[in-house]
Chains A and B, each alone.
Chain A
């Protein structure tokens, strides 16, 4: 039996969708406007501002930086995060329970605080080069996602399978690679993609850690906006959005988004 939802509830739901989607519509509209300033509704129709992204060298350069940074930072984070998630699940009984909280701290601490303290320690006190600082910062930023998502996959992993492999003559380090990892592969891929997106879209951490000559795409976008305020800002935003949506679609089709929300 279907009962019709209350009209107020329908109205409320419509409002939620409106506020979620309207900004996107405005950004997409503004990005195709044939004017030299940001405006909505668009006047005329052009893809010039999308071409412009690839013509302005600062955008090209920061796009490459953002991508390399995301891949390096995420990989580093997984190298730390997978063993951490493994230990947290394998020795859940023996380990103190606060340990799993430690790994989500970067989410709990306000990003601006994290960014500032990273600048103070990694860049100022330890004197690492800018790109290295960025890699460390982003690795830390995405670590909670890596640990959480890989943990979710490991929580349904039966560790007696690993013991079976060991009893059959497989050393433990090898059993980790040929038995444990293949069975949580989906979780590792999901963690990688989620972390990649988080890193590419990050502003607050990068704001503190970028410096002369090295910037990321979102930071360049901010800088560009301060100087020009032309529709390139909108087109870059749409591009970032498309990358995110595209990656999420791939995850949804191959693994299911439930993997990320568990």
Chain B
């Protein structure tokens, strides 16, 4: 059974503090959507609202055509995976996995068989009789995953499920989570603060800040075409420069930055959002060169990145971070030019 999840106009408060404001979100059938943001942005609150541990002060939550808004948490039928695994310490691994089946009144032999089958799918059938404290972090999270999947929930939710694991295991587990979610075409909501994790695992990602979704799109679009300065900064556009359009030449838009430097922006790549706008670049989006058609800069501190050198550059528009080739290391104090690499740049509207 695959269904969609719809949140409409959700507002939520902790006491008198507003933590979510008019949040709407649609997760299509079989889709995995991540909520991505720093701590306190409202992503976990959103998940807890859907789970039923919190009540919204306004708005509604629908799973398929079922209205969850006023339904108690235990009746929502959602598979939930927690950051700290949340296994039952006093039950065996098998009984942990079978717990949800027991609540659904399934007989003991049937639920032991189903639990064992699910444990086999996550490769832990040999540990069925152990208790959780005998397991490693990765194994615990597999058990938690099996426990959430075995009740065959129409919606799966993950609350930072990989945060307590080491880096190598994180990559392994996220592939496994994606595989298990895809296998059954399950609708899923995934909460994380890790951009790489969110982008690698999701069909679409919602970037959140201060209780709102700032942009919701496929990772490729978020990565190359952020909609606003916050998202741009979040996905690594470390330089955000104010520009003013001054004219057009050779299929390029010409724009002036503070201090008078002129940038040429190919019209085929950029849609000009207004007279004044922002130009966002990653450090890779500005190539440090001894000469060329770019922003004049005086080089500052140089650091070695392995694939390139990174420079802190002083320009008339303030400090800019740019990368230069390994073949040509430049000394601090050198006068250089920062040449835009347009596949690593974006234009944004000025925010009110």
Give the B-binding residues of A (Cβ under 8 A). Answer: 94, 158, 160-161, 163-172, 179, 182-183
Contact = CB atoms under 8 A, between A and B. Distances in A.
Contacts, number: 64
A124 to B, nearest CB: 43
The winner among B51, B52, B74, B79 for most chain A CB atoms within 10 A is: B74
A169 B78 CA distance: 9
B103 interface: yes
Contacts of B55: none
Contacts of A179: 88
A11 B91 CA distance: 52
B123 interface: no
25 contacts: A94-B15, A160-B82, A161-B88, A161-B89, A163-B73, A163-B80, A164-B80, A164-B82, A164-B86, A164-B87, A164-B144, A166-B52, A166-B73, A167-B73, A167-B76, A167-B80, A168-B103, A168-B147, A168-B148, A171-B72, A172-B72, A172-B73, A179-B88, A182-B90, A183-B89
A168 B89 contact: no
Contacts of A94: 15
A158 B84 contact: yes
Contacts of B88: 161, 164-165, 179, 183
A161 B86 contact: yes
Contacts of B79: 167
A189 to B, nearest CB: 14
Nearest to B89: A183
Contacts of B197: none
A163 B51 contact: yes
B104 interface: yes
Contacts of A172: 72-74
A166 B53 CA distance: 9
Nearest to B90: A182
Given A167-B51, A167-B79, A161 B87 contact: yes
Interface string B80-99: 10101011111000000001
Nearest to A157: B89
B86 A170 contact: no
Contacts of B103: 168-170
A161 B86 CA distance: 5
A166 B77 CA distance: 10
Interface of B: 15, 51-53, 72-80, 82, 84, 86-90, 99-100, 103-104, 144, 147-148, 151
The 6 closest A-B CB pairs, nearest first, are: A168-B100, A169-B103, A164-B86, A167-B80, A160-B86, A166-B73
Nearest to B82: A160
B234 to A, nearest CB: 27
A169 B90 contact: no
Given A160-B86, A164-B88, A170-B99, 18 more contacts: A161-B86, A161-B87, A161-B89, A163-B51, A163-B82, A164-B82, A164-B144, A168-B74, A168-B100, A168-B147, A169-B74, A169-B77, A169-B151, A170-B74, A172-B73, A172-B74, A182-B90, A183-B90
A169 B104 contact: yes
Contacts of A158: 84, 86
Contacts of A171: 72, 74
Contacts of B52: 166
A161 B82 CA distance: 9
Nearest to A175: B74
Contacts of A163: 51, 53, 73, 80, 82, 86
Contacts of B51: 163, 167
B48 to A, nearest CB: 9
A110 B204 CA distance: 64
A198 B260 CA distance: 84
Contacts of A165: 88, 99
A152 to B, nearest CB: 17
A179 B147 CA distance: 15
Nearest to B48: A163
Nearest to B72: A171
A130 B99 CA distance: 48
Nearest to A160: B86
B37 to A, nearest CB: 20
A172 B72 CA distance: 9
Contacts of A166: 52-53, 73-74
A197 B123 CA distance: 50
B84 A167 contact: no
A74 B322 CA distance: 71
A181 to B, nearest CB: 10
A168 B72 CA distance: 12
Nearest to B15: A94
A243 to B, nearest CB: 31
B163 to A, nearest CB: 13
A160 B83 CA distance: 9
